[in-house]
C-alpha cells in the first residue's frame, strides 16, 4: 500500500510553552508516520507572557511534520473572545498553507474534539474532505470535577457536532468509548491504544538492591499520591527494606507531606524529568504503583509493562483492560490498607511474574510498529469509502 497524506488537527500537542500537553498524541503521530505521511497542526494561545507575538515552528522528520503556531492570549472576557477568533484564524491559515504546498490530504484526523473539531468540520465543508476523530480526554464520567455534563453549552455543542460529523471515531479504551456513547454519541468506533517508545522502554535486568516501588504522574488530586505515601508508611512497618521513588511532582506540598511521614531518603522525589530518564527510572524499579481515583488508559502502565515491570493499580476506568494476573495486581480506589497489603503481596509473589513475558506481550500491543499499523489499516479503510 502506498503512503497516504493524513492531516492531523490537534487540540492538544506538546510545544515549548506546554512540553507535556498531549505528549501521548505526539507518540501516536510518530507511530502513524511509520506507514503514512502525517502533518500535524496545533495552535497554542499563551497567557503566561512567554509569547509576545505570533510565532510559527515547523519541525520535520521522516514521515512527520509538526506545525505549531503560538499567539499571545490576553485575560478577561474580551481577551477570551479575541483568543478564540485568533485560534480559528491561525488554524485556518496553517491549513490553507498545507493545502497550497501539499495539495488536499487523503484524510483529516482530528485529535480531541474541543476545539480542533471546529476545523475538521470547516475543512469538510470547504474542501469536501471527511474526517475521523480521536478522543483521549477522560471527562465522560461523573467522577472528575470537569466532566462532560458540567461543561457549558458551547463546549458540548462543539464536541457533539464533531462526533456526529466525523466518519468514525477512535478511542484508546473501551471504558472511554462507553462514556462517550452514554453521554454524547452512540456511533461506531475503533479502539487504538496508547503507544510506547520501545526504543526507550524495554526489558533490562535490574541491579540487585532494595525492592523499589515507583510512581509516575503529575500528582494532581485524582492521582492520590498522598494515599500512596500513607499506604507505603503502613507497609513499611513490616517491610523496612523497600523504597519508593516518586517521579513527575511539581508541587512543593507533596514533598512536605512525605517529609512528615518518613525519615530522609526513604522516599525519593525526582520531579519532572525527560522521557528518557523516566524510562531509566522505570528499568531501575521492581513495581509501578498507580493509585488513582479514576483513569482512562494510563500511558505509564504500558511503559512499565514494556520494561517488564509489574503493576499495582486501582480497579477503575480503563485500567482493568491493561492489568491482569500475569502482569500485576489490582486494588480498589482509596483503599490505603488494601494497597499496603497488595505491596506486601507483590514482594511475596514477585518471582512468579515472568518479566520477559510481560515485556513481549506489552511490546506486541503498544509498540510504534503495532500502533502505526493499526492507524494505517484505519486510514486505508476510511479512504476506500471516500
Q: What is the pTM of this model?
A: 0.95
Return the CATH fold of 212-365: Rossmann fold (3.40.50)
The reply to whether 212-365 shares the fold of 5-195+367-384 is yes
Give the ranges where the chain is alpha helix by DSSP (H): 23-32, 76-102, 113-127, 153-165, 174-183, 225-235, 252-261, 275-283, 299-306, 336-349, 355-366, 368-384
Domain boundaries, the chain: 5-195+367-384, 212-365
- Residue that has been written with the C-alpha cell 497550497 in this structure: 100
- Residue 385: the pLDDT is 64
- Residue that has been written with the C-alpha cell 515507583 in this structure: 214
- Residue 137: the pLDDT is 96
Separation CA 331–CA 339 (nearest Å)? 6
- pLDDT averaged over consecutive 10-residue blocks of the chain (386 residues)? 93 96 97 98 94 96 97 91 96 97 97 98 95 96 93 97 97 96 92 98 89 96 96 92 94 92 90 95 97 96 98 98 98 98 97 97 98 97 77
CB 292 within 8 A of CB 316: yes
Per CATH, the number for 5-195+367-384 is: 3.40.50.2000
- Residue 386: the pLDDT is 57
DSSP state of 46: E
Amino acid at each position: 500500500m502506498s503512503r497516504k497524506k493524513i492531516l492531523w488537527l490537534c487540540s492538544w500537542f506538546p510545544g515549548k510553552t506546554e512540553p507535556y500537553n498531549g505528549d501521548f498524541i505526539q507518540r501516536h503521530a510518530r507511530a502513524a508516520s511509520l506507514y503514512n505521511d502525517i502533518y500535524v497542526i496545533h495552535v497554542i494561545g499563551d497567557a503566561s507572557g512567554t509569547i509576545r507575538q505570533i510565532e510559527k515552528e515547523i519541525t520535520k522528520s521522516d514521515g512527520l511534520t509538526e506545525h505549531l503556531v503560538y499567539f499571545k492570549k490576553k485575560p478577561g472576557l474580551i481577551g477570551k473572545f479575541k483568543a478564540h477568533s485568533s485560534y480559528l484564524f491561525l488554524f485556518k491559515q496553517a491549513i490553507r498553507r498545507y493545502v497550497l504546498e501539499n495539495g488536499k490530504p487523503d484524510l483529516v484526523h482530528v485529535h480531541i474534539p474541543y476545539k480542533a473539531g471546529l476545523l475538521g468540520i470547516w475543512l469538510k465543508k470547504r474542501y469536501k474532505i471527511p474526517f475521523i476523530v480521536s478522543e483521549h480526554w477522560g471527562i465522560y464520567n461523573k467522577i472528575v470535577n470537569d466532566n462532560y455534563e458540567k461543561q457549558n453549552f458551547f463546549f458540548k455543542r462543539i464536541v457533539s457536532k464533531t462526533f456526529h460529523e466525523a466518519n468514525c471515531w477512535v478511542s484508546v479504551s473501551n471504558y472511554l468509548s462507553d462514556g462517550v456513547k452514554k453521554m454524547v454519541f452512540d456511533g461506531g468506533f475503533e479502539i487504538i491504544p496508547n503507544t510506547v517508545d520501545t526504543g526507550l522502554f524495554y526489558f533490562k535486568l535490574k541491579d540487585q538492591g532494595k525492592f523499589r516501588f515507583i510512581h509516575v504522574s503529575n500528582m494532581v488530586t485524582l492521582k492520590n499520591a498522598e494515599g500512596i505515601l500513607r499506604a507505603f508508611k503502613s507497609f513499611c512497618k513490616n517491610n523496612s527494606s523497600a523504597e519508593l521513588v516518586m517521579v513527575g511532582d511539581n508541587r512543593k506540598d507533596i514533598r512536605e507531606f512525605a517529609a512528615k511521614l518518613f525519615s530522609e531518603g526513604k522516599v525519593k522525589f525526582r520531579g519532572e524529568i525527560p522521557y528518557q530518564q523516566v524510562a531509566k527510572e522505570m528499568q531501575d524499579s521492581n513495581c509501578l504503583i498507580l493509585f488513582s481515583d479514576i483513569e482512562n488508559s494510563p500511558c505509564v502502565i504500558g511503559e512499565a509493562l514494556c520494561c517488564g515491570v509489574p503493576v499495582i493499580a486501582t480497579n477503575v476506568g480503563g485500567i482493568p483492560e491493561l492489568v491482569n494476573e500475569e502482569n500485576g495486581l489490582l486494588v480498589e480506589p482509596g483503599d490505603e490498607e488494601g494497597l499496603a497489603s497488595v505491596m506486601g503481596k507483590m514482594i511475596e509473589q514477585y518471582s512468579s511474574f515472568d518479566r520477559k513475558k510481560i515485556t513481549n506481550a506489552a511490546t506486541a500491543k503498544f509498540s510504534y510498529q503495532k500502533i502505526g499499523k493499526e492507524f494505517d489499516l484505519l486510514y486505508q479503510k476510511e479512504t476506500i469509502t471516500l
